[in-house]
Amino acid sequence: MKKTALFGAIALALSVAASAKEWKEVRVAIDATYKPFTYKTPDGKPTGFDVDIANALCAEMKAKCVFVEQAWDGMIPGLNAKKYDAIISSMSITEDRKKAVDFTGKYYNTPSRIVVKLGTIKNVPAELKGKKIGVLKGSTQEKYAKGELEASGAVIVPYEAQDQVYLDIKSGRLDGTVADSVEVYEGFLKTADGKGWGFVGPILNDKKYFGEGAGIAIRKSDTDLRDALNKGIKNIRANGTWKKINDKYFNFEVWGG
């Protein structure tokens, strides 16, 4: 009888300890190939809009952010394998992903666009027939390209990282890409390699593919972390920190509709 009571007390103590877990340290996964949202400074430090948002949210929670690098196609399995606690790396909130993980509300929302060499293609997707379109493996843009562009004859080539897409555009192996409009502008179109390339077709924000903006992914069991991060997003939006980070990278607001 005594023993049962003791075990009961221990179990109770453990469960209390578990539920009241203080997030002193949040391990944040990033894919640092996504300028200007997530990239690295020349000396190898993670930086960008996502990273600054992550640091601001950790500051709100009085916790420390530890950044973990992860290739894009393994992001969600890695989260569920507890290699890190949150993904703050421009991940769109989609129905498919919600089956595997939980999301906070969005912290920004920018549309995607198709990018091709200017003057070569005017009507999308009809003129994309036979063209090679590079996309990031496991991205919303890949799902869109396979769902909408492949039917009109475009060849969709999935890459491990978005910067490899730009390498193969530069080398002439690809005829275009589908990417986040801001990322592709800052990471490619604005650079010397992107000269002569530009957007074609309409703004892409079909909820079926692109979801409702970029959110923070967390494990379904970590509801306390989700609530803390949601509170953090609300706070940094209210106290001007979000705006400050926004203005550091963009001359327009990426909060979106």
Partner 1 sequence: MQFEVIFEPATLKLFGQGILVSLKLLFISVTIGAVLSIPMAIMRVSRNKWLSTPVWLYTYVMRGTPMLIQVYLIYYGVAQLEFVQSNWDTVPLLIPFKDALFCCVLAFTLNTCAYTTEMLAGAIRDTNHGEIEAARAMGMSRRQLMWRIVLPSALRRTLPAYSNEVIMMLHGTSLASTVPALMDITGAARSVYSDFYLPFEAFITAGAIYLVLTFTLVWCFKLAERRWLAYLQPRKA
Which positions lie near partner 1, rule CB under 8 A? 72-74, 76-77, 80-81, 100, 132, 134, 137-138, 157-160, 164, 167-168, 170-173
Question: How far apart are CB 166 and partner 1 at their closest, in Å?
Answer: 12
168 φ/ψ angles, rounded to the nearest 5 degrees = -80, -20
| Nearer of residues 63 and 76 to partner 1, judged by Cβ | 76
Between the two ends of the chain, the Cα-to-Cα distance in Å is 61
Checking DSSP bridges between strand 197-204 and strand 155-159, what pairing results, if any? unpaired
- Three-state SS for 11? helix
| Nearer of residues 12 and 100 to partner 1, judged by Cβ | 100
Give how far Cα 215 sits from Cα of 45, 89, 91, 165, 210, Å: 22, 8, 6, 24, 12
Question: How far apart are CB 138 and partner 1 at their closest, in Å?
Answer: 3
Question: How far apart are CB 173 and partner 1 at their closest, in Å?
Answer: 6
In 129-213, where do the E strands start and end?
132-136, 155-159, 176-180, 197-204
| Nearer of residues 49 and 188 to partner 1, judged by Cβ | 188
Stated as kind and residue range, the H or E segment containing 182 is helix 181-184
| Nearer of residues 72 and 103 to partner 1, judged by Cβ | 72
| Nearer of residues 42 and 172 to partner 1, judged by Cβ | 172
Q: Cβ neighbours of residue 165 under 8 Å, at least 6 residues apart?
A: 134, 135, 136, 159, 174, 177, 179
Give how far Cα 154 sits from Cα of 2, 98, 145, 166, 197, Å: 72, 29, 8, 18, 18
Question: How far apart are CB 73 and partner 1 at their closest, in Å?
Answer: 4
Question: How far apart are CB 92 and partner 1 at their closest, in Å?
Answer: 14
Report how far Cα 10 is from the mean position of its chain's Cα atoms.
41
Question: How far apart are CB 76 and partner 1 at their closest, in Å?
Answer: 5
| Nearer of residues 60 and 142 to partner 1, judged by Cβ | 142
DSSP 82-107: TS-SEEEEEEE--HHHHHHSEEEEEE
| Nearer of residues 69 and 168 to partner 1, judged by Cβ | 168
Question: How far apart are CB 62 and partner 1 at their closest, in Å?
Answer: 31
